[in-house]
């Protein structure tokens, strides 16, 4: 009989951030016959109904992740003790739960301090949240029996900053749903363009479309610098592209106001964000490129998704995914996320060679699509089980009869 697994995280749904990676790992474990316990606020219906899944719902007072965090930690630790007693493995996400087994690290709080600009209440909440998260991260990460990061650069940071022995840290890139995030056929492309241009005036139709996908709750995604770069480009009579912003967050209203004040409201369309798991793919199918000048990005799923859809992605060097970029795509990497002039220049160079760039990224796009969610999960479980066997071998030397 296979030993049980526990995953402690916020949500297990097909959505952005770390939610879908946790969903996919849980689904893989359950399909592979592991009794899989989940501790979190929310789980997709198909996952919660799986015969091998036991979902332990955590209350979220007032719909707040901040207020729900103590309960997530408490209930997570309670079930981690039970799973450990059954010789199982407990996987926690970063600092969400103080348990010293497997830590899956998607983001390092220590790597970047985001700045909130909208509303003093949100600024105070962000400051309190960051202080708590930093303290928990510094306390929890060094004690992990095994740490799994989403990039090699994050692996190095965990080893250097948190003094976790290198042999206990593994880098596993995030996977992708290659049936959804793939280059569209001509009919799908036309339908996607039609949706994006539905409310556009005649003068705005047929223009190249550049996407930005990311939360606008603070400055981490670098939208402020992209906005400055876009305003510079729109000041040129020859500039003919429009920006499609897929985003939600507390700062979204002020960006709409700024676009109107700058006279470029017709050149930037704010779509908001739809929880439909196909929404982002349909937007990307209708676009020609993506720009994400993040000041820090543990991995960069929107970049991966855009590339898998066959469109070039201009991304800052501060995003973990850039370590996978081949040398021939170096001009798509933004060296300094604070340099709006350079961001504008790189977008302009893409525009005047956009067809060539689409052809150039095709091999990279295919390679990324080959690393599916299942291959990611299999690689992770392989690392964890290898560690289990190594620990059992050590115990066997001390106490004969330990079964791997």
* Domain ranges within the chain, ordered by starting residue: 5-175+372-398, 186-369
DSSP state of 319: B
Q: What is the pTM of this model?
A: 0.92
The whole-number pLDDT of residue 129 equals 76
Domain range 5-175+372-398, CATH class: alpha beta
Measured CA to CA in angstroms, residue 354 lies from 43, 114, 368 at distances of 40, 32, 20
Q: What pLDDT score was predicted for residue 29? A: 98
The answer to whether the 5-175+372-398 and 186-369 domains have the same CATH topology is yes
* Span 281-313, pLDDT tens digits: 999 999 999 999 999 999 999 999 999 999 999
Pick the CATH number of 186-369 from 3.40.50.720, 3.50.50.60, 3.40.50.2000, 3.10.100.10: 3.40.50.2000
Give the model's pLDDT for residue 122.
66
Positions of the chain with pLDDT under 70: 116-123, 125-126, 274-277, 398-404
Question: Which pLDDT score, from 0 to 100, does residue 16 have?
Answer: 76
Predicted confidence at residue 215, as pLDDT, reads 86
Q: Which of 289, 301, 15 is nearest to 151 (CA)?
A: 301
Q: Which residues contact 233 (CB under 8 A, 6 or more apart)?
A: 239, 241, 344, 347, 348
Q: Distance (Å, rounded) from C-alpha 31 to C-alpha 50?
A: 9
């Amino acid at each position: 009989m296979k030993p049980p697994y526990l995953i402690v995280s916020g949500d297990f749904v097909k959505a952005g951030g770390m939610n879908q990676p946790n969903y996919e790992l849980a689904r893989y474990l359950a399909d592979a016959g592991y009794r899989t316990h989940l501790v979190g606020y929310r789980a997709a219906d198909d996952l919660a109904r799986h015969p091998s899944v036991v979902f332990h719902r955590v209350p979220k007072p007032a719909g707040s992740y901040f207020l729900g965090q103590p309960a997530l930690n408490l209930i997570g630790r309670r079930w981690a003790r039970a799973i450990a007693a059954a010789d199982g493995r407990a996987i926690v996400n970063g600092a969400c739960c103080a348990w010293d087994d497997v830590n899956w690290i998607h983001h390092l709080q220590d790597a970047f301090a985001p700045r909130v600009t909208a509303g003093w209440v949100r600024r105070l909440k962000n400051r309190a949240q960051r202080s708590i998260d930093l303290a928990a991260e510094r306390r929890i990460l060094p004690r992990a029996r095994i740490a799994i990061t989403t990039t090699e650069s994050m692996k190095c940071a965990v080893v250097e900053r948190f003094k976790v022995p290198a042999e206990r840290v593994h880098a596993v890139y995030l996977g992708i749903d290659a049936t959804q995030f793939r280059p569209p056929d001509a009919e799908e492309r036309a339908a996607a363009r039609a949706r994006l241009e539905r409310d556009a005036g005649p003068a705005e139709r047929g223009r190249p479309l550049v996407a930005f996908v990311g939360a606008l709750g603070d400055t981490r995604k670098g939208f402020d610098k992209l906005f400055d770069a876009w305003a510079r480009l729109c000041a040129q009579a020859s500039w003919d592209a429009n920006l499609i912003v897929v985003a939600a967050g507390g700062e979204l209203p002020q960006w709409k106001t700024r676009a109107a004040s700058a006279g470029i409201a017709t050149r930037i369309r704010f779509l908001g964000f739809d929880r439909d798991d196909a929404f982002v793919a349909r937007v990307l199918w209708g676009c020609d490129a993506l720009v994400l000048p993040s000041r820090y990005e543990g991995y960069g799923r929107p970049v991966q998704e855009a590339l898998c859809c066959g469109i070039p992605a201009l991304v800052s060097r501060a995003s973990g995914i850039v370590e996978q970029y081949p040398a021939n795509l170096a001009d798509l990497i933004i060296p300094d996320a604070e340099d709006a002039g350079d961001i504008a220049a790189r977008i302009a160079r893409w525009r005047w060679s956009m067809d060539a760039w689409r052809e150039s990224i095709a091999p990279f796009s295919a390679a990324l699509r080959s690393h599916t969610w299942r291959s990611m999960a299999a690689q992770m479980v392989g690392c964890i089980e290898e560690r289990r066997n190594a620990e059992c071998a050590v115990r066997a030397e001390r106490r004969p009869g330990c079964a791997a």
